[in-house]
Amino acid sequence: MSTASPINSDCRMYEARFPEVDTPVMIQVKEIGDVATHVALLEYNNIEGMILLSDLSRRRIRSVGSLIRVGRIEPAMVLRVNAEKGYIDLSKKRLSDQDIRVCEERYSKSKLVHSIMRHVAETMNADLEDLYIHVGWPLYRKYGHAFEAFKEIVNDPDSVLKSLTRELKEIGPDGKEVTKVVPAISDDVKEALVRNIRRRMTPQPLKIHSVIEMKCFEFDGVLHIKDAMRKAEAVGTKECPVKMKLVAAPSYVLYTQTLDKEQGVKVLNKAIAVCATTIERHKGKLTVKEAPRAVSEREDKLIAEQMARLERQNAEVSGDEDSEAEEDTGMGSVDLDNSSTSSGMMD
């Protein structure tokens, strides 16, 4: 009884079986010997390479352990390639800072592409190398890197994938072999590929936040603070909307969500500057307690929980305690959506 051949789920990332000489590649250290270090070339399906100890560093080696460790992943420069015997000699000391940057950036993109390709191959019971032959490597050739093609697939899959075809040989009605040109992948594999690319590569907005303290001891101080908050929020744009909320007097948090981290930080800094100018005009003071920065989902959740807890605590404070807090900070609870305030500003 015959059994079906197992589906191949291993494949190099690039079309060439071996790297070119004088090219930086990403390696993982497997074994450190007396005269050489044995490594795996991660982008080339873990084929073996070797780094002589003399090629580890330009400086005198006092301790090999300080230069390289088993399991470490890092770039190395290709010195020699013997394709017939499969020998690859590498060097660490030949790397420049530019080589390292180029290698790390390329590997980061290639690793994501490879992860998507492997996942599609495994879930769709497809051969990974076949998927690379008909999709991955043609995209590398056309776009310089398949990562760039995948970015376009997020918004317009057909513009990228429609041109990919393969030749299929079959026997015609007359018994002769004919060659047909068909799409490179079936509709279900295409759907799985697009779905995985969109899931992994659709940009996710970052949350940028900053914490400030703001006080104003003038009469109508709460209204001046409220005005400063409005002007800070007015700095926001459609791409970087600014929101400002009271944490607990006199602390406030400003935040925005954006796809562009640098732009988000810039907008929040501008909002803080506008807020400071407005409140200082009324003899108030603004102090930045935490400069604008990107926060993780976990940090954002913790901040939200902290704000909710402080809001509950504020709600439990009696009217007398509210007045004392207000006298100390020059403000009470501020609600930008409600023209009234919870301080002693009432008639």
Question: How many whole angstroms separate alpha carbon 46 and alpha carbon 167?
Answer: 30
94, 55 contact by CB (below 8 A): yes
CATH 3.30.420.40 at 8-16+23-58+70-93, yes or no? no
Q: For position 144, what pLDDT does the model report?
A: 96
Q: How does residue 263 score in pLDDT terms, banded at 50, 70 and 90? A: very high
Inter-residue contact 8 to 125 (CB < 8 Å): no
Pick the CATH number of 103-201 from 3.40.50.2000, 1.10.10.10, 3.30.500.10, 1.10.150.190: 1.10.150.190
Q: Pick 243 or 248 by higher pLDDT.
A: 243
Report the pLDDT value the prediction gives residue 130, as an integer from 0 to 100. Answer: 95
* pLDDT above 70 (res 342): no
- Tally the C-alpha atoms within 13 A of residue 45's C-alpha that lie toward its C-beta: 16
Distances (CA, A) of 137 to 58, 129, 130, 184: 36, 10, 10, 12
Question: Contact 310/331 with Cβ under 8 angstroms?
Answer: no
Residue 131 has pLDDT above 80, yes or no: yes
Q: Judge if the upstream peptide bond of residue 250 is cis by omega within 30 degrees of 0.
A: yes
Higher pLDDT, 96 or 34: 96
Q: Where are the domains of the chain?
A: 8-16+23-58+70-93, 103-201, 206-329
Identify the burial level of 185 via C-beta atoms within 10 angstroms of its C-beta, where 0-12 means exposed, 13-18 middle and 19 or more buried. buried
The domains spanning 103-201 and 206-329 adopt the same CATH topology: no
Q: What is the mean pLDDT of the chain?
A: 85
Instruction: Reply yes or no on whether the pLDDT at 340 is more than 50.
Output: no
Tens-place pLDDT, residues 277-330: 999 999 999 999 999 998 877 777 777 777 777 667 666 654 444 444 443 444
pLDDT given at position 27: 97
Entry pTM: 0.64
Rounded percentage of the chain residues whose pLDDT exceeds 70: 84
For residue 9, pLDDT over 70 is answered with: yes
Q: Which residues contact 281 (CB under 8 A, 6 or more apart)?
A: none
Backbone φ and ψ of 225, nearest 5°: -65, -40
- As given in the structure block, the two tokens for residue 287 are 């102090």
The per-residue pLDDT for 15 is: 97
Look at residue 136 and tell me whether its pLDDT is greater than 50. yes
10-19, 285-294, 321-330, 333-342: the lowest-pLDDT one: 321-330
Place of tokens 């490597």: 137
Average confidence (pLDDT) over 64-87: 88
Query: Residue 332: which pLDDT band, with cuts at 50, 70 and 90?
Result: very low
Task: Given CATH 3.90.1150.10, say whether it is the number of domain 206-329.
Answer: no
For the chain, the maximum distance between any two Cα atoms, rounded to a whole number of angstroms, is 99
At residue 56, the pLDDT reads 84
Which residues are registered as beta bridge partners of 179?
169
Q: What is the pLDDT of residues 202-245, one digit of tens each?
A: 888 889 999 999 999 888 889 999 999 999 999 999 889 999 99
In this structure, are residues 129 and 11 in contact, taking their beta carbons and an 8 Å threshold?
Answer: yes
CB 51 within 8 A of CB 8: no
Task: Give the best-scoring range by mean pLDDT among 49-58, 122-131, 298-307.
Answer: 122-131
CB atoms within 10 A of CB 137: 19
Q: pLDDT by residue (tens digit) across 146-202? A: 999 999 999 999 999 999 999 888 887 888 888 888 999 999 999 999 999 999 998
Mean pLDDT of 15-20: 96
pLDDT of residue 298: 74
